[in-house]
Structure 1
Amino acid sequence: MIYFDNSATTKPFKEVLDSFVTVSSEYYGNPSSLHSMGAQAEKLLSQAREQVSTFLKVKPAEIYFTSGGTEGNNLAIKGSALLHKNKGRHLITTSVEHPSVRTAMEQLEQEGFEITYLPVDEFGRISVANLEKEIRKDTILISIMHVNNEVGTVQPITEIGALLKKYPTILFHVDAIQSVGKIPLSLYENRVDFCSISAHKFHGLKGTGALFIREGARLAPLFSGGNQERKLRSGTENVAGAVAMAKALRMTFTKAEAGLEGMQKIQSVLRKGLTEIDGVQLHTPNEKAAPHILNFSLTGIKSEVFIHSLEQKGIFVSTTSACSSKKKSPSKTLLEMGVPETLAESAIRISLSFENRMEEAITALEAFKESAKQLRKVMK
Structure 2
Amino acid sequence: MIIGTVKEIKDHEFRVGLTPAGCHALKEAGHTVLVESGAGKGSNFSDEEYNAVGAQILTKKEVFDNADMIIKVKEPLFPEYDMFHKGQILFTYLHLAPEPELTAALLRNQVIGIAFETVRDANNSLPLLSPMSRVAGRMSVQIGAQYLEKQYGGKGMVLGGVPGVEPAQVVIIGGGTVGLNAAKMAVGLGAKVAVLDMNPERLSYIDDLFNGRVETIVSNSFEAAVWAKKADLLISCVLIPGAMAPKVIKEYMVKEMKKGSVIVDVAIDQGGGVETIDHVTTHTDPVYIKYGVIHYAVANIPGAVPMTSTIALANSTLPYALKIANKGWKQALQEDSGLAQGLNTVDGKITCKAVAQARNLPYTSLSEILD
- TM (norm. structure 1) is 0.35
Greater RCO between the two (CA within 8 Å, min separation 6)?
Answer: 1
- TM (norm. structure 2) is 0.36
